[in-house]
Amino acid sequence: MRPLPLLFLLPFSASAALKVYPDRVTLTGPQSRQALVVQHIAGDGRTTDVTANVKVQSPAPVQWDAATGLLAPTGDGSGEAVIQWENEQATLTVTTTGFAQARTPSFRLDVEPVLMRAGCNTGSCHGSGRGQDGFRLSLFGYDPAGDFFRLTREMIGRRVDLEVPTQSLVLEKSIGAVPHTGGTLFKPDSDYYRVLHDWIAAGARDDAPDTPLATGIRIFPDKIEVRASVTAPAHHRTLVMAEYSDGSLRDVTRLALFLSNNDSTATIGKDGTVTAGASGGAHVFARFDKFTAGTEVIVLPDRTDFTWPDLKPANPIDEAVFARLRQLQIAPSAPADDASFLRRVTLDLTGLPPSPEQLTGFLTDAAPDKRNHAIDRLLATEAFTDLWTMKWAEILQVKVNNQNADTGRSRQPVWKYYQWLRAQIAANRPFNELVRDLIRAEGSNTANPPANYYTSANGNIRTPMERAEDTAQLFLGTRIQCAQCHNHPFDRWTMDDYYGFTAFFKGVSQKKGASATEVFIFNRPGQTTVDHPVDGRAVSPRFLGGEQPDLKGGDPRHFLADWLTAPGNDTFARTLANRAWFHFFGRGVIEPVDDGRISNPPSNEKLLAILADHLRAARFDIRSLIRTICQSQTYQLSSTANETNASDDRNFSRSYVRRLQAEVILDTLAAVTGTPNSFSGQMPGTRATQIFDGGADRDYFLKTFGSSKRETVCTAEVRMEPTLTQALHLINGNVVDGAIQRSPVLTELMKQKPTAEAGVIALYQRALSRHPTAYELARFMESARSLPEGDQAALRKFFDDTLWALINTTEFAFNH
């Protein structure tokens, strides 16, 4: 791992009650400024921004402007400043130097940040691949050398005018003095204008080779915790400090860009001021150079009568979730009743509903740990293996492509790939080993099915870039695609990172195998570098966010596989754990599960750490993690919301109602009616979750309900949105009606000669895994009153209609 920047080691705290950010100020040159943020922390942890009301007394020659919150030098000197607010005080070391001589702005340190802050180099402006109105900048400044060339050399005397700097087009456009599609970006009296002007006036020179580079940024304060208020929303300033390769620190607040990941809870203005909104948790981020940093904002409800319900944590998962809920003053829902629990866990673990016998047995079981027993029983089923194989088959794109045998995605190898994957999951193979097999895979894709990891479902031969992107997204939960062309705007990945990671796959090649439908995957020795598109430099393999391995002539993928799946690779464990969590809540701790980035932090960091630790401690035994998740109180909470958690959608304060996956609905329909489905090209008796190559292309029902097309590594390929077509298909389509007409379950029910009431209760138990409510039963009995006495055909019709109605309830297609 890269060494932690100095910035993160600095102590920034002085007084428990009054905190000053930063705790040390160095001002170099007459124009330098340093923002201060002074925060008061109350006994209950709530914070108040008191910057505007502090007094600053400093032995060093500085001037404090409380309105702007800026310290400015008035001469050279140093000393301990005292910051005073009401009766609290804190200290701060202040040093001012070089006051006598103004510093010439640097292109990389000053000019490029202004262009970024003003939005000049965004994709919609000059950062677009073709530039804008004839002028192009590298997107988000990934190529400073190129930007320097285009500003100063591409049209000499036009963009920068050394003779009359104010007539430089870059200045005139920025202030709107000449027509500019991008509008007026700043005023002539702004610092931004001054920086550009002074740089041009000084000869618009490029930086010296030893110019220090930014190595990281940090946003302060560390935490903001305020109470929501509709009438007087709380405001809180933030401050962004950058560290440079020479060890210097600099206030870049006015050059940074800001964003929030939850605008309803906290917005952040262009100046970095946070405004609290509705109660909840949010993260606000600052972006400067190629770095993004965030800090947490907690907005408490505007009521003070919060009490924690009588709910004990069952395991560390609950401890983490409950701690977060307490912090946000959200009360979790009550635990779910037994029937709801059994239906939920059975659907989640097997993709099938509990049978009426299982339901009755469970409800009448008096054992205190019957829920744990149920979880263990379900984890041991073949259906669990089928369901989890399907989940991984979706993102590993286990899909047949018959159009072109050369691609190696014919039925035979794809079927073998599926069988291999299923065998791994059935045998509870540690997931890190499974992933290692995939990444290291070579040879025949039929004799060694993991080699299919490198064949492509879309029919084309994959590029090293696609292979790298997919691997990062699948197993590191990271989307590095942006960094192919420019530094990632919301994450830390640069083009160097991207091409370093791509280089692991440079040598991966494929050729026709012995049989027509077989391909051989192999690594071309010596092909271990990719060319950097900006400067053509050969980039060697480097782990994402990590070291450069010494390949010693070996296959780079072996090094990658070992690094990626090592227990020490936190990102890998967190990604797998988060993917597992997602299955049970319909939402990851990081959401989306494959888009982990600095600007998308986990909604509960502690929870994700516990899940990842558990997975590691269990040696990547996925069943063990799932067992622990299912045993948690958090998983077993009711889906009924209370006053405090109705709007919570990310802290797991209740069971979120989730639509069942397409395959699960279809299998549930078959289980409830007893009418099996059949699918073309599959063995007789195959359930929807067992279709080895995915059902989206072969079954209208599955396609309509959003079955994954298995064409990308995105989890989002499984569509869960309810649509009108789905509703109409259930109501009018032949699937439900046909299944009911042919239903052996109804035939069996009729043989038992039940009363209408007994039949309705039995169908409720079968379809919805619960007893009807008194109201529901009464309504059904109302319509049963018109049944002719002893007319079995009419009774059967009544049961048909009852089951049809139950299948068409929202409840049927949802897990709750």
Partner 1 sequence: MAHPALRLSFPATLLTLAAATLTATAGAQDKDSPDKFEGNPSVTSHWPRGAQRGTTVEVEFTGTRLGDPRGVVCLTTPAITCSKVSASPPSANPPPRPGNPPPSTAVATLLIAPDCPSGQHVIRLLTSNGVADIATFWIGSLPEVVEQEHANNSKTDLNGTRGQAEPVPLDRTVNGTLNGMEPDTFRIDLKQGQLFTAELEATRLRSTPREDGFQPGLEITDAAGKILASGSDHPLFLTDPFLSLAAPADGPLFVAIRPVLPPENTSRRIPYRLHLGSFQRPDGVYPAGGNPGTALAAELQGLPDGQNPRVTIPLPPSGPDFPWQASPGTPSPNLLRLLAGPNVLETEPNETPEQATAVPAGPLPFACNGRVATTGDTDHFRFTAKKDERLQFRAFAQALGSPLDLKLGITRASDSSKTERADDSNDEQLGLFDSGTVREKLDPVLLFTAPADGEYLLAVSESQGSTAPQNIYRIEATAADSGFISTLQPLDRNTRLLRNAVSIARGNRVNATFSARPLPGTTPAGEYILTATGLPAGVTLLSEPFTLPAARIPVLFEASPDAAPAIAAVTIGIQSRDGQTTYPDTLRHTIPLAQLGNDATQFVTVDRLAVAVCDPAPFKLTVAPAHGPLMKNGELELEVSLDRAPGFDEPLDILLETPPKGIIGAQGVTLTGDQKSIGFRLAADTNATPGQYPVILTARNKSGDNRTGAGKIYTASNLVPVEIADPYLKIKFARARIERGMQTTVTATLERLRDLPGKATATLIRLPRGVTHKGEPVAVGPDNTLTFTVSSTQDALVGTYQGMACEISVESNGGHLRQIAGSGPIRVDPSRQANP
Residues that bind partner 1 (CB under 8 A): 401-406, 410-412, 415, 442-444, 446-448, 511-518, 520, 522, 680-684
Nearer of residues 406 and 649 to partner 1, judged by Cβ = 406
**Quick one: which of 296, 266, 293, 297 has its CA closest to 598?**
293
Nearer of residues 404 and 548 to partner 1, judged by Cβ = 404
CA–CA distance, 120 with 143 (Å, rounded to integer) = 14
In the complex, what is the shortest distance from the CB of residue 468 to partner 1, in angstroms, rounded to a whole number? 23
In the complex, what is the shortest distance from the CB of residue 562 to partner 1, in angstroms, rounded to a whole number? 17
In the complex, what is the shortest distance from the CB of residue 718 to partner 1, in angstroms, rounded to a whole number? 24
CA–CA distance, 506 with 596 (Å, rounded to integer) = 25
In the complex, what is the shortest distance from the CB of residue 470 to partner 1, in angstroms, rounded to a whole number? 23
Nearer of residues 40 and 409 to partner 1, judged by Cβ = 409
Residue 259 phi, psi (nearest 5) = -155, 160
CA–CA distance, 814 with 650 (Å, rounded to integer) = 19
Cβ-contact 692, 415 below 8 angstroms? yes
CA distances from 634 to 195, 319, 379, 607 (A): 54, 9, 19, 11
Return the H-helix or E-strand segment holding 1.
none
In the complex, what is the shortest distance from the CB of residue 681 to partner 1, in angstroms, rounded to a whole number? 5
Q: Would you list the DSSP string of 597-640? A: BTTB--S-HHHHHHHHHHHHHTTT-HHHHHHHHHHSTTTTB-S-
For the sheet with 70-73, list strands across it.
34-35, 70-73, 62-65
In the complex, what is the shortest distance from the CB of residue 488 to partner 1, in angstroms, rounded to a whole number? 36
Nearer of residues 126 and 557 to partner 1, judged by Cβ = 557
Residue 399 phi, psi (nearest 5) = -145, 140
In the complex, what is the shortest distance from the CB of residue 697 to partner 1, in angstroms, rounded to a whole number? 11
Nearer of residues 521 and 593 to partner 1, judged by Cβ = 521
In the complex, what is the shortest distance from the CB of residue 445 to partner 1, in angstroms, rounded to a whole number? 10
**Quick one: which of 715, 659, 705 has its CA closest to 397?**
715
N residues, the chain: 816
CA–CA distance, 221 with 238 (Å, rounded to integer) = 6
Strands 274-276, 266-268: pairing is antiparallel
Nearer of residues 379 and 441 to partner 1, judged by Cβ = 441
**Quick one: which of 637, 618, 409 has its CA closest to 517?**
409
In the complex, what is the shortest distance from the CB of residue 446 to partner 1, in angstroms, rounded to a whole number? 7
Phi-psi group of 526: left, alpha or beta (phi > 0 → left; psi -120 to 50 → alpha; rest → beta): left
Reading the block at residue 396, the tokens are: 């590993």
CA–CA distance, 521 with 778 (Å, rounded to integer) = 65
Nearer of residues 418 and 799 to partner 1, judged by Cβ = 418
Cβ-contact 284, 292 below 8 angstroms? no
Cβ-contact 354, 769 below 8 angstroms? yes
Cis peptide leading into residue 592 (ω within 30°): yes
In the complex, what is the shortest distance from the CB of residue 784 to partner 1, in angstroms, rounded to a whole number? 41
Cβ-contact 533, 493 below 8 angstroms? no
Cβ-contact 465, 484 below 8 angstroms? yes
Nearer of residues 402 and 741 to partner 1, judged by Cβ = 402
In the complex, what is the shortest distance from the CB of residue 438 to partner 1, in angstroms, rounded to a whole number? 15
Nearer of residues 470 and 518 to partner 1, judged by Cβ = 518
In the complex, what is the shortest distance from the CB of residue 404 to partner 1, in angstroms, rounded to a whole number? 6
DSSP structural state of residue 511: E
In the complex, what is the shortest distance from the CB of residue 443 to partner 1, in angstroms, rounded to a whole number? 4
In the complex, what is the shortest distance from the CB of residue 388 to partner 1, in angstroms, rounded to a whole number? 21
- Find how far residue 669's CA is from the centre of its chain: 32
CA distances from 455 to 323, 390, 737 (A): 45, 18, 40
Residue type, 563: W
Q: Would you list the DSSP string of 310-334? A: S---SSHHHHHHHHHHHHHT-PPPP
Residue 520 phi, psi (nearest 5) = -105, 130
Residue type, 364: T
